Amino acid sequence: MAIKGLGQQAKLRTCHKAERRICCSATEEYVDVEGDVIDNRIPVTVITGFLGSGKTTLLNALLKQDHGRRIAVIENEFGEIDIDSELVAFKESVEGDQAIMMLNNGCICCTVKEDLLVMLEELVARRDKFDHVVIETTGLANPKPIIETFRAFQPVAEHYSLDGVLTLVDAKHVGQHLDEEKEEGVVNEAIAQVAYADRIILNKTDLVSEAEVASVERRLSSINNLAQVVRAQRADVKAEYVLGIGGFDLDRVADEVLEEAEAGSGHSHSHISVELEGDLDLDLVNDWMEDLLIDCSEDLYRFKGVLAIDGWPDRFIFQGVHAVFEGTPGKPWKEGETHKSRMVFIGRELNAKLLKEGLQQCLV
Ligand SMILES: Nc1nc2c(ncn2[C@@H]2O[C@H](COP(=O)(O)OP(=O)(O)OP(=O)(O)O)[C@@H](O)[C@H]2O)c(=O)[nH]1
């Protein structure tokens, strides 16, 4: 297990810009002469979505659009399925350096992980030839291992930053995938794909009525209402919706958490927000997080928060994906402002009461 952020507090480094600004991201950061942090890492978008939801259609559209960015695509095809012919046809017709790499025979979570690492390493050597990496996962995959590869695996995190996770949803069939009963302890991939999304494309809306689309939207938001959702046909969305997610931009997290907390807390088993006043003891938070991640790693898909830490002049903003979390200082607290901590959890069968009590016990 790797814990970044609070767990690295002992090693926090101070950036040049403002002495108070403390950096604690997964990787080394560089500052320019003004002291602004420069992130030269390669942005990566992970595209997930159940079988047939429109991932390949989206990729094709993306590769043809004139968005000025050179994209390297990594495809994870499952088992014996042939490499998508349209994509290959496009590859042959394309001028320049678009790279398409295939991960065959297996899903990224097991056999292919090694191959993915090798590919990512190869791409680093060809860094000047593209601006963005897009990974299309097999429709059967839970995106967790890929996300973890970018967050927890240091040699990868050094060169790549996960821009975000985009999930394609088939408006006509998603219900049956979400409803599918799994054995005890087995993850429903369709739910995981929605839960991990920063953005969702609700595709194939031509195949269902307005009432059905609205009902799917409600369903998606009950699983993950932090993700933005757009409706589409033939996955026709602006390239920016896919390539400019910035989902793991910690500066954005604070606003999301605030909105979520204001929307109400503890309503559903999959979606819980907890809020309390006062300052938290950093060591206690650290210990609590560590226990929480050990105890419910499989059930806790994502969590985000803004914390008031005793002795810290700034808000601490963080987000976690399974057993990894990292954070950064946010806006400073104003003189006389009430210190509040807010956390949002997305997972299955989460116990709101226990989570709240856990956070409460971290108060100084
Ligand atoms: N009616 C309709 N069909 C669509 C739409 N988007 C994609 N399709 C079709 O749906 C089928 C599956 O689309 P793909 O893009 O191959 O889906 P995928 O997610 O890559 O599928 P897998 O690789 O099997 O996981 C194709 O025949 C597409 O042409 C849409 O909005 N409406």
Give the residue whose CA is nearest to atom 29 of ligand 1. 57
Q: Which pLDDT does position 40 carry in this prediction?
A: 82
Pocket (CB within 6 angstroms of ligand 1): 49, 51-57, 139, 168, 203-204, 206-207, 233-235
Q: Quick one: pLDDT band at residue 37, thresholds 50, 70, 90?
A: low
Query: Model confidence over 279-293: pLDDT tens digits?
Result: 999 889 888 888 887
Q: Note the pTM of the prediction, 2 decimals.
A: 0.68
Probe residue for ligand 1, chosen from 46, 48, 50, 53 as the CB with the greatest number of ligand atoms within 8 Å: 53
If DSSP codes are grouped into helix, strand and coil, which group holds residue 32?
Answer: coil
Give the residue whose CA is nearest to atom 1 of ligand 1: 204
Whether the per-residue pLDDT at 27 is higher than 60: the answer is: no
Q: Which domains does the chain have, with CATH numbers?
A: 42-243 (3.40.50.300), 249-360 (3.30.1220.10)
Check whether 86 has a pLDDT greater than 90: no
How is residue 97 annotated by DSSP?
A: -
Residue 338 or residue 31, greater confidence = 338
Test site for ligand 1: of 50, 57, 233, 236, most ligand atoms within 8 A of the Cβ: 57
Q: What residues form DSSP beta bridges with 143?
A: none
Tell me phi and psi for residue 327, to 5 degrees: -150, 180
Query: ipTM for the complex?
Result: 0.98
3-state SS, residue 59: helix
Answer whether 173's CB lies under 8 Å from 254's CB. Answer: no
pLDDT above 70 coverage of the chain, percent:
67
* CA of 55 relative to ligand 1 center, distance in Å: 7
* Residue 209 in tokens: 């009525």
